[in-house]
Amino acid sequence: MAINYNLAKVYALSDNDPEFVMQIITLFVTEVPEDLKQIELGIKEKDHKLAYAYAHKIKPTLDLLGMSVAFEEILQVEAWTKREGKRKEINDTFASIQSQVEKAIKEIKKDFEV
């Protein structure tokens, strides 16, 4: 049973199409970690535009996979980029997002053998 993610929205959106569900899962597992690296780079280098672009990109995916806490936190990252905040303000929030995504990916790989 999924603990770190929820596919209810994915199944509803796809009319229970298993191929579509697998596409979304595969996209999440392969692209989101790379996008997180870009957000991390943006935070590290105070490149607010870079961090915003990738935070904005993964936001719908986090919502679609029912990762509500990570979704709320990615909104905080977006807000931080808009006000061009200090790096230390966002480090814990970003670390939390990373941790949640890592747990979800590990669980998805186990559940779907991807």
- pLDDT by residue for the chain (114 residues), tens digit each? 679 999 999 999 999 999 999 999 999 999 999 999 999 999 999 999 999 999 999 999 999 999 999 999 999 999 999 999 888 889 999 999 999 999 999 999 999 987
Output the pTM of the full model: 0.93
The domain made up of 7-112 has a fold known as: Four Helix Bundle (Hemerythrin (Met), subunit A) (1.20.120)
pLDDT at 89: 87
What is d(CA 78, CA 50) in angstroms, rounded to the nearest whole number? 11
